[in-house]
């Protein structure tokens, strides 16, 4: 009897040790997860670089305007030289509400919220894959590749509406997997909120939900059609209130290159090349769920087309890549290799390459846009320039110019912008002007006070061109243009009148 008692006692002790070990592992895993997600932000903050990405500065400025106005203003004095305040204001409003409730500054709010929702997104990603009854190893592997993917780390570091939209999508998608009415109601609310945060992403998600209902879950088709119908009503409301908008006739990704969307080739928010390789393997070998495979293929085609014109689809495509990469890794692990040594070496190279690529990416966070040189240029412009003066630059730098308190000619928010095609055509004529008449006309039409350019855009605009024929030539010889500030990457000219 004593022996039995001892055995029971020992068994309880062993179970406690196992539970304790699992708990410690879970804590370490969560700590590691948080550490990886916050690493790019920590590196940038320690080096005084500030917020990450163009959208962070747009959203910060819009949130600040809403806060100062104590409501959504009617007019934006800075963007496109002045425009009606027609933005997808969901994220800026959310920043203001969170900042007001927590008493945190808008800057700190812009740092904390992306990290939090980045963490929530990977948790929701894991739960969705688990509920889709995928193999446990595949779920773990896909989550692993997502956590280490550069696009995901960027998403959790930049104050962009996309990180919250993906959270709404994942939460709504996860809740509709159940049959509880309350869950379906919350799922419905999550989906219909998305257009308030991004007009274009709302359309993509409507297509995504429709394909899901048609191909994978016919039981939810009526619910999803109702959801899409309500989302459509929101767009009709926008159209009735704001009317149509001028469709842009130029390519905003004119320097598009496939290699720019791989982190290993220098992209700020690209996908990992090792994950992409495994995704191809996973796609080729996926045979168990053909409709799910068709769904992923259709989604990938749509996203690859959009990536040619927009930047945010890369973040959605990254989730597809990670799902397939997880499956691809499982395929390689279970494949009957002729040599165990080759198998172990191949898997080790892929895993080590993924880790190395991630840590190299994190180490580059300081150089991501805006880098320290662009920040210093903005500071000079804000301190030395007069408020509401007009600065000409590439539209990629438009948000930064507005953040410095200056008007731009145009920026990346073309939706409902005043005459974007004319402004683009006039700007191209100015950039490649070969005579003073064209230059003078542009300076007069847009009342230019400064010309702001960085090395990256300069190289994009004038690569393979003889710069002594165009605007740079006149910036050097014409006394109206005086170089008032420069550093290693940024140049700022003050434009004076002929009399000065």
Question: What string of H, E and C letters represents the secondary structure of 184-237?
Answer: HHHHHHHHHHHHHCCHHHHHHHHHHHHHHHHHCCHHHHHHHHHHHHHHHHHHHH
| pLDDT, mean of residues 175-201 | 91
In the chain, the largest separation of any two C-alpha atoms, in whole Å, equals 108
Instruction: Check whether 12 has a pLDDT greater than 50.
Output: no
Instruction: Please write the tens of the pLDDT for every residue from 417-433.
Output: 999 999 999 999 999 98
Which range among 42-46, 59-63, 221-225, 480-484 has the greatest average pLDDT? 59-63
3-state class of 256 per DSSP? Answer: coil
CATH architecture of 372-495: 3-Layer(aba) Sandwich (3.40)
In contact, 79 and 398? CB cutoff 8 Å: yes
Instruction: Check whether 48 has a pLDDT greater than 60.
Output: yes
Return the pLDDT at 498.
61
The proportion of the chain whose per-residue pLDDT surpasses 90, expressed as a percent, equals 48
Give the CA distances from residue 294 to residues 170, 219, 252, in Å, rounded to whole numbers and listed in that order: 20, 18, 30
In contact, 307 and 317? CB cutoff 8 Å: yes
pLDDT bin (cut points 50, 70, 90) of residue 66 is very high
Instruction: Check whether 40 has a pLDDT greater than 90.
Output: no
| pLDDT, mean of residues 107-123 | 93
- The closest alpha carbon to 408, from 430, 391, 394, belongs to 391
In the β-sheet with 407-408, what is the strand arrangement from edge to edge?
A: 407-408, 390-392, 450-454, 490-495, 481-486
Share in percent of the chain as helix, strand, coil (round to 5): 70, 5, 25
pLDDT bin (cut points 50, 70, 90) of residue 16 is very low
Q: Among 134-143, 152-161, 458-467, whose mean pLDDT is lowest?
A: 458-467
Instruction: Check whether 289 has a pLDDT greater than 80.
Output: no
Distance between CA 409 and CA 393 in Å, rounded?
A: 7
* DSSP class of 1: -
Instruction: Check whether 6 has a pLDDT greater than 60.
Output: no
| pLDDT, mean of residues 111-116 | 93
Return the pLDDT at 262.
82
For the chain, which residues make up each domain, given as ranges? Answer: 95-366, 372-495
pTM of the model: 0.88
Instruction: Check whether 271 has a pLDDT greater than 70.
Output: yes
The average confidence (pLDDT) of the chain is 86
Instruction: Check whether 500 has a pLDDT greater than 70.
Output: no
Return the pLDDT at 468.
76
Give the CA distances from residue 350 to residues 139, 320, 374, in Å, rounded to whole numbers and listed in that order: 18, 18, 36
Return the pLDDT at 405.
92
In contact, 166 and 373? CB cutoff 8 Å: no
- The closest alpha carbon to 161, from 206, 190, 208, 194, belongs to 194
3-state class of 495 per DSSP? Answer: strand
Instruction: Check whether 339 has a pLDDT greater than 90.
Output: no
Return the pLDDT at 473.
87
Structure-token match 């973040």, residue found: 315
Q: Computed over its alpha carbons, how large is the radius of gyration of the chain?
A: 26
| pLDDT, mean of residues 332-339 | 82
Instruction: Check whether 11 has a pLDDT greater than 50.
Output: no
Measured in residues, the chain has a length of: 500
């Amino acid at each position: 009897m004593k022996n039995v008692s001892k055995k029971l006692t020992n068994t309880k002790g062993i179970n406690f040790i196992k539970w304790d070990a699992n708990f410690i592992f879970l804590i370490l895993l969560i700590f590691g997860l948080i550490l990886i997600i916050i690493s790019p932000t920590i590196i940038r903050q320690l080096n005084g670089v500030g917020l990450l990405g163009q959208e962070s500065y747009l959203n910060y400025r819009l949130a600040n305007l809403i806060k100062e106005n104590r409501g959504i203003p009617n007019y934006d004095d800075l963007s496109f030289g002045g425009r009606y305040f027609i933005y997808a204001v969901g994220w800026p409003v959310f920043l203001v509400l969170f900042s007001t409730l927590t008493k945190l500054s808008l800057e700190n709010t812009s740092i904390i919220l992306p990290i939090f929702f980045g963490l929530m997104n990977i948790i929701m990603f894991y739960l969705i894959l688990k509920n889709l009854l995928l193999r446990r190893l595949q779920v773990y592997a896909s989550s692993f590749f997502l956590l280490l993917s550069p696009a995901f780390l960027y998403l959790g570091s930049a104050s962009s509406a996309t990180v919250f939209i993906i959270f709404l999508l994942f939460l709504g998608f996860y809740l509709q997997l159940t049959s509880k009415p309350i869950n379906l109601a919350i799922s419905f609310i999550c989906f219909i909120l998305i257009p308030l945060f991004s007009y274009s992403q709302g359309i993509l998600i409507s297509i995504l939900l429709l394909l899901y209902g048609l191909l994978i879950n016919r039981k939810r088709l009526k619910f999803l059609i109702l959801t899409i119908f309500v989302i459509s009503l929101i767009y009709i409301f926008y159209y009735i209130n704001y009317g149509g908008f001028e469709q842009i006739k130029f390519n905003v990704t004119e320097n598009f290159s496939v290699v720019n969307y791989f982190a290993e080739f220098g992209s700020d928010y690209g996908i990992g090349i090792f994950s992409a390789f495994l995704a191809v393997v996973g796609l080729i070998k996926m045979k168990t769920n053909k409709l799910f495979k068709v769904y992923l293929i259709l989604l990938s085609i749509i996203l690859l087309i959009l990536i040619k014109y927009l930047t945010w689809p890369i973040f959605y495509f990254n989730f597809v890549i990670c799902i397939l990469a997880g499956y691809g890794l499982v395929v390689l692990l279970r494949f009957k290799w002729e040599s165990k040594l080759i198998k172990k070496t191949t898997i080790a190279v892929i895993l080590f390459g993924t880790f190395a690529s991630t840590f190299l990416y994190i180490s580059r966070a300081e150089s991501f846009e805006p880098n320290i040189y662009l920040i210093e240029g903005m500071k000079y412009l804000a301190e030395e320039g007069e408020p509401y003066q007009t600065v000409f630059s590439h539209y990629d730098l438009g948000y930064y110019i507005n953040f410095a308190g200056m008007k731009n000619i145009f920026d990346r928010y073309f939706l409902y912008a005043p005459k974007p095609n004319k402004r683009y055509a006039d700007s191209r004529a100015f950039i490649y002007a070969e005579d003073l008449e064209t230059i003078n006309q542009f300076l007069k039409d847009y009342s230019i006070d400064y010309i702001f350019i960085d090395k990256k855009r300069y190289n994009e605009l004038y690569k393979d061109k003889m710069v002594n024929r165009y605007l740079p030539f006149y910036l050097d010889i014409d006394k109206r243009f005086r170089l008032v500030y420069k550093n290693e990457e940024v140049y700022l000219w003050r434009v004076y009148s002929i009399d000065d």
